[in-house]
């Protein structure tokens, strides 16, 4: 099991559902259809799972950076919405 070192220093198990949901939400915000959101979220989740596989720990900043980089190759709007997703969680 890979632990994610969060911004405040605590650790939690890598949860691919959280990653999938955040990429899906970014795609939906960029007006992708449901199938496009699912495809992009599944592809990104698979890529990150291959990165964390075999690692004991990974920093959440590294995950976000890699996801942003990959999303930027696909669509700058999706990258933008993914990047802005985290601060918006504080408002909820």
- Rounded distance, CA 26 to CA 84, Å? 9
How, if at all, do strands 11-13 and 57-59 pair? unpaired
Domain residues for the domain of 66 are: 3-89
Q: What is the pLDDT of residue 85?
A: 74
- Tens of pLDDT, residue by residue over 24-72, are 999 999 999 999 999 999 999 999 999 999 999 999 999 999 999 999 9
Over the stretch 74-84, which tens digit does the pLDDT of each residue have? Answer: 899 999 999 88
What span, in angstroms and rounded, lies between the C-alpha atoms of 59 and 66?
11
- Per the structure block, which two tokens stand in for 92? 């909820």
pTM: 0.85
pLDDT-based confidence at 87, cuts 50/70/90? low
Residue 92 has pLDDT above 50, yes or no: no
Q: How many domains does the chain have?
A: 1
């Amino acid at each position: 099991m890979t632990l994610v070192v969060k911004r405040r220093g605590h650790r939690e198990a890598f949860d691919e559902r959280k990653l999938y949901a955040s990429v899906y939400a970014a795609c939906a915000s960029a007006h992708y259809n449901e199938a496009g959101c699912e495809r992009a979220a599944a592809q990104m989740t698979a890529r990150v799972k291959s990165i964390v596989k075999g690692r004991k720990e990974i920093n959440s900043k590294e995950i976000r950076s890699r996801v942003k980089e990959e999303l930027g190759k696909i669509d700058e709007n999706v990258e933008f919405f993914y990047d802005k997703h985290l601060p918006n969680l504080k408002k909820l």
